[in-house]
Amino acid sequence: MTTNEPSLGTAYNPFDRHLENPYSFYTQLRHEEPITFSPCINAYLVSRYDDIRSILSQPDIFLSRDTLTPGITMYPRTIAELSKGCPFVPIVVNADGANHTRLREPLQKMFAPTRIRTMEPFIRQIATRLVDGFINDGHAEIISQLAYPLPLAVVLTVLGVPQKDMQEIRRLCDDWNALILSPLPEERQVAHAQSLVALHHYIAQLIEQRRSSPQEDGITDLLDAHMPGEEPLSQEELVHTIGGVIIAGYATTTNLIGNGLVLLLEEPTRWQTLCEHADHIPLAIEEILRYHDPVPGLTRTTTREVTVGGVVMPAGTKLFLLYSAGNRDETQFPCADQFDMQRKPNRHLAFGYGDHFCIGAPLARLEGRIAFETLTQRLPAMQLVPNQKLSHIPNLIHYGYQRVEVQW
């Protein structure tokens, strides 16, 4: 395999050095080393839009199997704890070929655009209730008070998970997310593994409840769903699929709302424009997704020797597709480093591309639109609290703020 020396990839650290503002580094990658190896995540970084789109359009050559195993080292105690839970099996995000189709089909029905559109009054009701809870305070921490409870309440309702368990479910899911996608010291890693096992047991109990007493909800639908000639999802597939739907159902939308509010409020004219022109919100959401992508990248693995951007890679090579870098590619997006709320066309990569295009994209867009419509209508004087330190969560594939303080 051919490489460039010295390599920019050796400097890449998404958990520290390139956590808060990686975009100038992404520009350097695209211009100087668009394909370069990163020891930090043991994968080649792919930073140009066309290369990423090409890879995503060839799922037979570039597999998704390692999407949820991006090189985080597990301690022996962590592995021992995980053995007490449900064995790991592929779910839709890291399955390939016919198995991917089999796992994706029931979720496509659950999140079909026509079905999602009927949820708008319900989602708007949740957004209104959440804003009611803090509107008279004059301030809010918008991540914990709106950005995460809105999409989490929605996805739990879709699945049929009790709302009373929301706080605990969020804690367990956040621990799971950090376990597989963030470098952690041993004690925290072990504790997060225990959380994951607890989540497995919780979901398994819900599954058994639905087996004995079916309901009109997503979990019951998953129990019965299967393609003609295929077996229903196994217990392990059900547990991991339901857990994966919960995380995917709130984490990305939480970051869409949080990232978007920071972008809109740091330049008050942007916020004022949306307050006066609610019809601009859908285009603004697409630009938020492009400019501050909630999912900065995902992993693919080669099935055979292949050349990408002039670099020859053998079978089994991991590539980390930097969606956030591709979304700032000047060859695809004029004035790519400018935030343009009226950008058209906007063929960003925030939801991926091809066979693995995000199933929940229609729901995320709807939730984002309702969140921004509700906030602009009810809190037009909202602004960022001055002098706060905005810090991102150190996570490889979910990019969002830990806290965002606002006032009005």
Instruction: Report pLDDT digits (tens) over 337-364.
Output: 999 999 999 999 999 999 999 999 999 9
User: pLDDT at residue 383 above 90?
Assistant: yes
Tens-digit pLDDT profile for residues 217-237: 999 999 988 778 888 999 999
pLDDT confidence of residue 295: 96
pLDDT confidence of residue 69: 78
pLDDT confidence of residue 180: 87
Rounded mean pLDDT, 283-306: 97
User: pLDDT at residue 72 above 90?
Assistant: no
Burial class (CB in 10 A: 0-12, 13-18, 19+), 109: middle
Burial class (CB in 10 A: 0-12, 13-18, 19+), 198: middle
- High-pLDDT (> 70) share of the chain, %: 98
Tell me the domain boundaries of the chain: 8-407
Tell me how far apart the alpha carbons of residues 173 and 199 are, in angstroms, rounded to a whole number: 7
What letter would DSSP give residue 315?
T
Tell me how far apart the alpha carbons of residues 101 and 340 are, in angstroms, rounded to a whole number: 36
Nearest CA among 210, 262, 192 for reference residue 402: 262
Which secondary structure element, helix H or strand E, spans residue 25, and what is its range?
helix 23-32
Give every CB contact of residue 214 below 8 A, 6+ residues apart in sequence: 220, 223
Give every CB contact of residue 168 below 8 A, 6+ residues apart in sequence: none
Tell me how far apart the alpha carbons of residues 375 and 371 are, in angstroms, rounded to a whole number: 6
Nearest CA among 146, 155, 376 for reference residue 282: 376
Give every CB contact of residue 183 below 8 A, 6+ residues apart in sequence: 15, 72, 394
Q: In the structure, what pLDDT confidence band is assigned to residue 71 with cuts at 50, 70 and 90?
A: low
Q: Are 76 and 83 in contact (CB under 8 A)?
A: no
Tell me how far apart the alpha carbons of residues 290 and 345 are, in angstroms, rounded to a whole number: 11
Tell me how far apart the alpha carbons of residues 319 and 313 are, in angstroms, rounded to a whole number: 10
Q: What burial letters (b/e) apply to 234-269, b meaning 16+ CB within 10 Å? A: eebbbbbbbbbbbbbbbbbbbbbbbbbbbbbbeeee
pLDDT confidence of residue 360: 95
pTM: 0.95
Rounded mean pLDDT, 400-406: 98
Tens-digit pLDDT profile for residues 309-343: 999 999 999 999 999 999 999 999 999 999 999 99
Tell me how far apart the alpha carbons of residues 208 and 63 are, in angstroms, rounded to a whole number: 33
User: pLDDT at residue 51 above 90?
Assistant: yes
Tell me how far apart the alpha carbons of residues 232 and 348 are, in angstroms, rounded to a whole number: 35
Q: Cα–Cα–Cα angle for 200, 206, 208, nearest 5°?
A: 100
Rounded mean pLDDT, 256-262: 98
Mean pLDDT (the chain) is 95
User: pLDDT at residue 38 above 50?
Assistant: yes
First to last CA, the chain: 57
Q: At 36, is the secondary structure helix, strand, or coil? A: strand
pLDDT confidence of residue 3: 45
Q: In the structure, what pLDDT confidence band is assigned to residue 132 with cuts at 50, 70 and 90?
A: very high
User: pLDDT at residue 111 above 70?
Assistant: yes
Whether the link from the prior residue into 345 is cis, omega within 30° of 0, is yes
Tokens of 84: 């007490």
Dihedral over Cα of 45, 69, 360, 144: its sign: negative
Considering the four listed CATH numbers 1.10.630.10, 2.60.120.1600, 1.10.3720.10, 3.90.380.10, the one that applies to the domain covering 8-407 is 1.10.630.10
Q: Which alpha helices (DSSP H) does 267-333 contain, by range?
A: 268-276, 281-291, 323-326
pLDDT confidence of residue 1: 43
